Amino acid sequence: MRVAVYPGSFDPVTRGHLDIIKRAARIHEKLIVVVMKNSAKKPLFTVEERVELLRGCCEGIPNVCIDSYDGLTVNYCRMKHATLLVRGLRAVSDFENEIQIAQTNHALMPGIETMFLATGMRWSYLSSTIVKEAARYGSDVSKFVTPNVEAALHEKFKAQEE
Ligand code: ADP
């Protein structure tokens, strides 16, 4: 079975990520969405919370499973015998960073290929950062995230206020 891995911070998962997950799941036999512990970013949600939110969003997709990993993406792929990495490209601004990551991963492990999916037009402006900013000031973010994520965002910011 060909296994594909979609790594990211998913802090939190947005409808843009979900669009990529659903489309990638149609192409690949098995898709693992993996929450990576990125040491360069200070996340709002813990890894466990992000995994739970992703699980809530992906319940209905049978060939998708959710995991987390603290380490290099290529090492995770090797462990899972995965040969394909999935990433989403929103705009030209994503390209420079994404090509660098893809080429580094390929240099580290030549057996691994990165496949880019172009973001759906509806979600090209959307990022986890923008969603967090909007939710922090009490905006309705239901257009951008699923109800479980919206509830978790409001709860998180309410707890931070107390
Ligand atoms: P990372 O910190 O690894 O960039 P993110 O969670 O921000 O993690 O993004 C994970 C992947 O999802 C990246 O390939 C990113 O380009 C893609 N992505 C982020 N937002 C969207 C969106 N709105 N539509 C499609 N893909 C997206």
pLDDT in tens, 40-90: 778 999 999 999 999 999 999 999 999 999 999 999 999 999 999 999 999
Amino acid 91: pLDDT: 84
Between residues 161 and 16, which one has the greater pLDDT? 16
Residues with catalytic annotation?
17, 41, 90, 128
Nearest CA to ligand 1 atom 4: 8
Q: Given a cut of 90, is residue 148 above it in pLDDT?
A: yes
pLDDT in tens, 16-47: 999 999 999 999 999 999 999 977 778 999 99
Amino acid 154: pLDDT: 93
Task: Please give the model's pTM, rounded to 2 decimal places.
Answer: 0.94
- The Å distance, Cα 162 to ligand 1 centre, comes to 31
Amino acid 94: pLDDT: 87
Amino acid 36: pLDDT: 95
- Concatenated DSSP letters of the chain: --EEEEEE--TT--HHHHHHHHHHHHHSSEEEEEEE--TTS--SS-HHHHHHHHHHHHTT-TTEEEEEESS-HHHHHHHHT--EEEEEE-SHHHHHHHHHHHHHHHHH-TT-EEEEEEPPGGGTT--HHHHHHHHHTT---TTTS-HHHHHHHHHHHHHHH-
Residue 14 alpha carbon, nearest atom of ligand 1? 23
Query: Alpha-carbon distance 11 to 66, whole Å?
Result: 14
Amino acid 159: pLDDT: 84
Nearest CA to ligand 1 atom 24: 16
Residue 126 alpha carbon, nearest atom of ligand 1? 23
pLDDT in tens, 99-122: 999 999 999 999 999 999 999 889
- The Å distance, Cα 161 to ligand 1 centre, comes to 28
